[in-house]
Amino acid sequence: MDETTPRLLVSVSGLTPGAPLDAAVALADALDARRVPLTLLVGPQPHPEVAAWAGARRRAGDVALLHGTRVGQAGRPYRRLAAHEAGLRLTAALRARDALGPAVDGFAAPGWSTSPGTRGALVAAGVALCLDDTGLHRLGVGGATVRSWHGPVVTGEPRRASRRSLRRRPEPDLVHLALTATTPVTRAGALVDAALDGGATPLAASELVLRRTPRRPGAAGDPEQWSITA
């Protein structure tokens, strides 16, 4: 594939404990019709129905990312987080995920911002994929970037263009559409269609993660355990 071709990633948040799934299912159906995979942002303690749905979507080819490490987080708590504190939060969140949620392929911080300490703690915890406000990153030793797709976060909320946004900027190599589970399907479809019409091609899970190397004893026969964090 041409390295200059922009890539498309569509993330879906708002899959909170007890969240109704009807809107999320409709959104997923609309993306399926366009052959665009979803990146599901799932909290550490999802509702059982959310966990089951996210796990089924992941087995069918979507990517699941751990969205934060505490229920109800807001703001940008990972912008200045040191490695030690980030590691403690991640350890607790991954334990909760093991008990309550689907396997995950990486991490997405609430507020999108991550510190070097957070990225280092992710790698130490076996999490090598990070989505933040600069793009999508594969992480190596110490949290160093191994491979990145750079691009700003584009939300599903219509915004009036500012003078700053109208200034000429380098073309990104990632179009990241950050939707919520309740984004109207028509709005989501219009954003995705615009990205596809602009030449963006969807990023597939197979390009981002390797799931067929189980890390947990006895996981070889269970596809739900094929994960870089399993």
Write b or e for each residue in 147-159: b if 16 or more Cβ atoms lie within 10 A of its Cβ, otherwise e. Answer: eebebeebebeee
Query: CA-to-CA distance for 8 and 176, rounded, in angstroms?
Result: 6
In a domain, 76, yes or no: yes
Output the pLDDT for position 194.
Answer: 94
In a domain, 1, yes or no: no
Output the pLDDT for position 208.
Answer: 85
The pTM of the full predicted model, rounded to 2 decimals, is 0.80
Strand partners, 130: 107, 137
In a domain, 230, yes or no: no
> How many angstroms separate the Cα of 170 from the Cα of each of 8, 104, 163, 166?
17, 32, 16, 12
Query: CA-to-CA distance for 15 and 87, rounded, in angstroms?
Result: 24
Query: CA-to-CA distance for 52 and 64, rounded, in angstroms?
Result: 12
Output the pLDDT for position 171.
Answer: 65
Best CA proximity match to 204, nearest among 105, 110, 98: 105
Query: CA-to-CA distance for 217 and 200, rounded, in angstroms?
Result: 39
> What is the domain count for the chain?
1
In a domain, 25, yes or no: yes
Output the pLDDT for position 230.
Answer: 35
pLDDT tens per residue across span 49-67 = 888 899 899 988 899 998 8
In a domain, 55, yes or no: yes
| Token digits of residue 19 | 């969240």
What domain range includes position 102? Answer: 7-225
Output the pLDDT for position 43.
Answer: 82
> Which 8-state DSSP code applies to residue 216?
S
Output the pLDDT for position 46.
Answer: 81
Alpha helix (H) residue ranges in 34-82: 48-59
Query: pLDDT under 70 in the chain at which residues?
Result: 1-3, 17-20, 70-76, 97-101, 156-171, 210-230
114 in Cβ contact with 79 (< 8 Å): yes
Q: What is the CATH number of the domain that holds 196?
A: 3.20.20.370
